[in-house]
A and B are shown apart, each in its own frame.
Chain A
Amino acid sequence: MKRVYVPLALLIVLILFPLVVTDAYYQHLMILVLLWVAIGSGWNLISGYTGQVLFGAAAFFGVGAYTAALLLSKLDVSAWWGLPLGGLVAVLIAFPFGWICFRLRGPYFALATLALNEIFRHIATIWESLTEGMVGILVMQTFISKIPYYYIALALAAGSVIMIDVVTRSRLGYYFVSIREDQDAAESMGINTVYYKMISLCLSACVIGLAGALYTNYMGFIDPKVVFSLHDISIMAILVGIVGGVSTVYGPAMGAFIMVAIQEVFRSGGFGLLVKLGKATGWPVMATVTKYVSEAHVLSFGLLVIFVILYLPNGVVGDWSTLRKTLLFWKRETA
Chain B
Amino acid sequence: MKRAALLVVGALAISLICLGISMAADPIKVGVVLPLTGEQAKFGEIEKNSFLMCLEEINKAGGIKGRPIELLIEDDTGKPDVGRSAVEKLISQDKVVVLSGGYSSSVTYAMCAVAQQRKIPFLVTTGSADKITEQGWDYVFRLNPPVSEYPQALESFMKEVAKTQSVAILHENTLFGQSGSKEFAALCETAGVKVLMKEGYEAGAVDFKPLLVKVKAAKPDMVYMISYIMDAALLMRQSKELEFNPKLFVGGGAGFTLPEFAKNAGDAADDVFSADLWSPKVPYPGAQEYFDNYGKKFGSPTEYHGAEAYASMQVLADVLKRAKDLTPAGVREAMLVTDMKTVFGPVKFIAYGKKKQQNQLPTYLVQWQKGTLETVWPKSVATKPYVYPILPWAEKKK
Please name all residues of chain B whose beta carbon is closer than 8 Å to the beta carbon of A267 when the two chains form the complex. Answer: 74-75, 77, 82, 85-86
Q: Does A313 contact B (CB under 8 A)?
A: no
Q: By the criterion CB–CB under 8 Å, are A134 and B110 in contact?
A: no
Q: By the criterion CB–CB under 8 Å, are A128 and B82 in contact?
A: no
In the complex formed, the residue of A with least CB distance to B13 is A280
B residues 10-47 near A (Cβ < 8 Å) are: 17-18, 20-21, 24, 36-37
Q: By the criterion CB–CB under 8 Å, are B93 and A25 in contact?
A: yes
In the complex formed, the residue of A with least CB distance to B16 is A280
Q: Does A187 contact B (CB under 8 A)?
A: no
Instruction: For residue B108, give the distance in angstroms from its CB to the closest CB of chain A.
Output: 9
Q: Does A268 contact B (CB under 8 A)?
A: yes
Q: Does A186 contact B (CB under 8 A)?
A: no
Contact with B along A165-195 (1 / 0, CB 8 A): 0000000000000000000000000000000
Please name all residues of chain B whose beta carbon is closer than 8 Å to the beta carbon of A226 when the two chains form the complex. Answer: 79-80, 106
Q: Which of A97-105, A109-117, A294-302, A303-311 contacts B (4 or more CB under 8 A)?
A: A294-302
Contact with A along B87-129 (1 / 0, CB 8 A): 0110111100000000001100110010001100000000001
Q: Does A326 contact B (CB under 8 A)?
A: no
Instruction: For residue A294, give the distance in angstroms from its CB to the closest CB of chain B.
Output: 6
Do most interface residues of chain A lie in helix, strand or loop, or is the interface mixed? helix
Q: By the criterion CB–CB under 8 Å, are B88 and A280 in contact?
A: no
Please name all residues of chain A whose beta carbon is closer than 8 Å to the beta carbon of B84 when the two chains form the complex. Answer: 28, 219
User: How long is the Cα–Cα vector from A280 to B17 in the complex, in angstroms?
Assistant: 6
Q: Does B174 contact A (CB under 8 A)?
A: yes
Contacts A133-B173, A276-B21, A281-B17 given; 20 further ones with Cβ under 8 A?
A: A24-B92, A25-B85, A29-B85, A125-B178, A128-B178, A133-B178, A134-B176, A135-B179, A136-B109, A138-B109, A144-B117, A220-B110, A221-B110, A225-B106, A226-B79, A267-B77, A268-B86, A276-B17, A280-B18, A280-B20
A residues 41-56 near B (Cβ < 8 Å) are: none
User: How long is the Cα–Cα vector from A63 to B80 in the complex, in angstroms?
Assistant: 18
Q: Does A319 contact B (CB under 8 A)?
A: no
Pick from A25, A128, A219, A280: contact of B81, CB under 8 Å: A219
Please name all residues of chain B whose beta carbon is closer than 8 Å to the beta carbon of A135 when the two chains form the complex. Answer: 129, 131, 175, 178-179
Highest count of chain B CB atoms <10 Å: which of A23, A221, A281: A221
Instruction: For residue A291, give the distance in angstroms from its CB to the closest CB of chain B.
Output: 9
Instruction: For residue A239, give the distance in angstroms from its CB to the closest CB of chain B.
Output: 15
User: How long is the Cα–Cα vector from A283 to B125 in the complex, in angstroms?
Assistant: 31
Contact with B along A143-155 (1 / 0, CB 8 A): 0100000000000
Q: Does B253 contact A (CB under 8 A)?
A: no
Q: Does B63 contact A (CB under 8 A)?
A: no
Q: How large is the interface on A (under 10, 10 to 19, 20 to 34, 35 or more residues)?
A: 35 or more
12 inter-chain pairs at a CB distance below 8 angstroms, sorted by A residue, are A125-B200, A126-B200, A133-B173, A134-B174, A138-B109, A225-B174, A267-B75, A276-B17, A280-B20, A280-B21, A295-B36, A297-B37
A residues 225-240 near B (Cβ < 8 Å) are: 225-226, 232
A136/B110 contact (C-beta < 8 A), A267-B77, A280-B21 known: no
Please name all residues of chain A whose beta carbon is closer than 8 Å to the beta carbon of B18 when the two chains form the complex. Answer: 276, 280
User: How long is the Cα–Cα vector from A168 to B135 in the complex, in angstroms?
Assistant: 47
Instruction: For residue A45, give the distance in angstroms from its CB to the closest CB of chain B.
Output: 24
Pick from B92, B105, B118, B173: contact of A136, CB under 8 Å: B105
Q: Does B182 contact A (CB under 8 A)?
A: yes
Instruction: For residue A273, give the distance in angstroms from its CB to the closest CB of chain B.
Output: 10
Instruction: For residue B237, give the distance in angstroms from its CB to the closest CB of chain A.
Output: 26
In the complex formed, the residue of A with least CB distance to B19 is A280
Q: By the criterion CB–CB under 8 Å, are A32 and B81 in contact?
A: yes
User: How long is the Cα–Cα vector from A324 to B280 in the complex, in angstroms?
Assistant: 62
Q: Does A119 contact B (CB under 8 A)?
A: no
Q: Does B68 contact A (CB under 8 A)?
A: no
Instruction: For residue A55, give the distance in angstroms from its CB to the closest CB of chain B.
Output: 20
Please name all residues of chain A whose beta carbon is closer than 8 Å to the beta carbon of B89 when the two chains form the complex. Answer: 25, 268
